[in-house]
Amino acid sequence: DAIAAELPPLAALDPQARIAQRREKFMAMGRDGLS
C-alpha cells in the first residue's frame, strides 16, 4: 500500500488516521482535476 508507506508510524497504526489521510489525498486530487 503506497499510501500507507507515506504515513507516519502512528498514523499507519490508526485506522481513523489512515482513512483521514486517504480522504485528504483523494479530495486534493479531485480539486486538482476539477480546477
pLDDT in tens, 1-35: 566 566 666 655 678 878 888 888 888 888 776 65
User: In this structure, what C-alpha cell is assigned to residue 25?
Assistant: 489525498
pLDDT at 15: 83
The tally of domains found in the chain comes to 1
CA atoms in the 13 A half-sphere facing the CB of 3: 13
Listed residue (23, 18, 15, 16) closest to 5, CA to CA: 18
Count of Cβ atoms closer than 10 Å to residue 7 Cβ: 16
- Residue 27's domain spans which residues? 1-33
pLDDT at 26: 86
Q: Where are the beta strands (DSSP E) in 1-35?
A: none
CA 32 to chain centroid, in Å, comes to 15
